Structure 1
Amino acid sequence: MKNLKFCTFGLLVMSLSFVSCNREENLALDKELINASADIDLTNELDFNSGIDISSDNSSYSDRNSLQSNAITPCASVNVNNTTPGIFPKIFTVDFGTGCTYNGITRSGIITITITDYVMNNGSIMTIERGSNYYVNGRKVEGTVVYENTTTNTAIPQWTRTITNGKITNPAGVVFNHYGTRTVKQTAGVSTLILADNIYEITSGSHTITKTGGASLSVTVVETLIKKYACNHISQGQLDLQGSVLDGILDYGNNTCDNLATYTHSNGTIYNVILY
Structure 2
Amino acid sequence: MKTTKFILGLALAFSIFSCSKDDSNSSSELNEAKVSAKIDMATEDVAKIVEDQYALQVNPGAGKNNLETQDLPSCATVTVELTASTWTRTVVFDNCTLPNGNVLDGTIIVSGSLNFDTPSHTISYTFIDFHHNNILIEGNRTVVRSMQSTAAQGTVHPVANMSIDMTVTFPNGNVYHRVGNRVRELIEGFDTPMIWADNVFSITGSWTTTFPAGTQTSTITTPLRVRANCPNIVRGVVEIVRNDNTAILDYGNGECDNQATLTINGTTTTITLGH
TM-score, scaled to structure 2: 0.76
Distance 1:157 1:30 in 2: 37
Q: Is 1:39 paired with 2:38? A: yes
Q: Which residue does the alignment assign to 1:201?
A: 202
CA offset at residue 217 of structure 1?
0.2
For structure 2, list consecutive stretches of 5 or more residues without a partner in the other structure: 1-6, 64-68, 150-154
Distance 1:42 1:162 in 2: 16
CA 255–142 in structure 1, closer or farther in 2 if over 3 Å, else same:
farther
Distance 2:239 2:274 in 1: 17
Distance 1:233 1:119 in 2: 33
Q: Secondary structure at the match of 1:247?
A: strand
Preserved contact between residue 157 and residue 186 of structure 1 (Cα < 8 Å): yes
Residues 20-99 of structure 1 mapped to structure 2, 5 A cutoff: 24-25=24-25, 28-56=27-55, 57-60=58-61, 70-71=70-71, 73-82=73-82, 88-99=85-96
TM-score, scaled to structure 1: 0.76
Structure with more strand by fraction: 2
Q: Which amino acid aligns with 1:170?
A: F
Q: Which residue does the alignment assign to 2:265?
A: 266
Distance 1:259 1:74 in 2: 30
Distance 2:33 2:269 in 1: 16
CA 231–76 in structure 1, closer or farther in 2 if over 3 Å, else same:
farther
Identity %: 24
Q: Secondary structure at the match of 2:78?
A: strand
CA offset at residue 268 of structure 1?
1.6
Structure with more helix by fraction: 2
Preserved contact between residue 8 and residue 35 of structure 1 (Cα < 8 Å): no
Q: Which amino acid aligns with 1:145?
A: R
Q: Which residue does the alignment assign to 2:148?
A: 152
For structure 1, list consecutive stretches of 5 or more residues without a partner in the other structure: 1-5, 63-68
Deviations along 1:109-146, whole A, 9 cap, x unmatched? 11111122477952201122122x21112222222231
Q: Secondary structure at the match of 1:81?
A: strand
Q: Which residue does the alignment assign to 1:66?
A: none
Deviations along 1:140-182, whole A, 9 cap, x unmatched? 2222231113543372222322112x11223433211110123
Q: Which amino acid aligns with 2:247?
A: G
Q: Which amino acid aligns with 2:148?
A: T
RMSD (Å) for aligned C-alpha atoms: 3.5
Preserved contact between residue 108 and residue 134 of structure 1 (Cα < 8 Å): yes
Q: Which residue does the alignment assign to 2:66?
A: none
Moved more, 257-266 or 38-47: 257-266
